[in-house]
């Protein structure tokens, strides 16, 4: 599924226009990107969490020549699926909390 297909499904499910669905989806994605790039964590209960993570510098290897090369440290985005999302993908019902 790509973005336009997601917009189409969202518009149909929410009974709104495709333009409104695209605007809402773009706003939500923009807010998530902005928050994670600042170092905040975005948690959507039942769906998952978006956060940034630091990746340490390391030594890699060029697969063609075998020569070692330095790979710089960087910050990367991470997504951790929530229990409801994991259960849906596994085809199970989400476990209820006590």
Confidence (pTM): 0.79
**In contact, 53 and 47? CB cutoff 8 Å:** no
Per-residue pLDDT of the chain in tens (98 residues, 90 and over written 9): 999 999 999 999 999 999 999 999 999 999 999 999 999 999 999 999 999 999 999 999 999 999 999 999 999 999 999 999 999 999 887 566 55
Q: What is the structure's pLDDT at 93?
A: 72
Instruction: Quote helix, strand, coil % in the chain, to nearest 5.
Output: 40, 30, 30
CATH of range 41-93; options 3.40.50.300, 3.30.930.10, 4.10.520.10, 3.30.70.100: 4.10.520.10
């Amino acid at each position: 599924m790509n973005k336009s297909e997601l917009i189409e499904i969202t518009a149909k499910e929410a009974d709104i226009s495709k333009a409104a669905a695209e605007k809402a989806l773009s706003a939500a994605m923009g807010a998530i990107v902005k928050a994670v790039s600042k170092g905040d964590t975005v948690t959507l209960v039942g769906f998952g969490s978006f956060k940034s993570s630091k990746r340490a510098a390391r030594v890699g290897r060029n697969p063609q020549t075998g020569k070692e090369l330095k790979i710089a440290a960087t910050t990367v985005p991470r997504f951790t699926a929530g229990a409801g999302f994991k259960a849906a993908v596994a085809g199970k019902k989400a476990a209820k909390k006590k």
